[in-house]
């Protein structure tokens, strides 16, 4: 097995339904920012399954694709171009 195959950062989720923490991590952000993006309509609302909130990975992908790369609100002044 290669190092890339072992790395959790290099693996796609094997399930479609993601917890809040998993959905945030899937797009590379923390849960606080993810919650703000859900509230702002930039990320999808969860599906309710029993007592759990589950995010559809395909919906998260679509929402991520719709995010503008030119959005000045998304720019972190301290970040470099490689983050």
Q: Is the pLDDT of residue 42 over 60?
A: yes
Note the pLDDT tens digit of each residue in 8-41.
565 665 899 999 999 999 999 999 999 999 999 9
pLDDT at 82 over 70: no
Rounded to two decimals, the pTM is 0.69
Q: Is 40 helix (H, G, I), strand (E, B) or coil?
A: coil
What is the reported pLDDT for 77?
46
Answer yes or no: are the C-beta atoms of 60 and 18 closer than 8 Å.
Answer: yes
In angstroms, rounded to a whole number, what is the distance separating the alpha carbons of residues 81 and 29? 16
Query: Tokens representing 32?
Result: 């606080």
Q: Which of 22, 29, 81 lies closest to 52 in space, CA to CA?
A: 22
- Note the pLDDT of residue 13: 59
pLDDT digit string, tens, across residues 46-80:
999 999 999 999 999 999 999 987 755 555 545 55
């Amino acid at each position: 097995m290669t190092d890339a195959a072992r790395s959790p950062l290099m693996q796609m989720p094997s399930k479609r339904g993601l917890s809040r923490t998993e959905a945030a991590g899937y797009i590379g952000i923390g849960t606080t920012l993810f919650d703000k993006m859900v509230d702002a309509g930039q990320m999808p609302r969860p599906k309710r399954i029993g007592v759990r909130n589950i995010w559809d990975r395909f919906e998260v992908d679509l929402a991520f694709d719709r995010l503008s790369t030119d959005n000045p609100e998304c720019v972190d002044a301290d970040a470099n171009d490689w983050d």
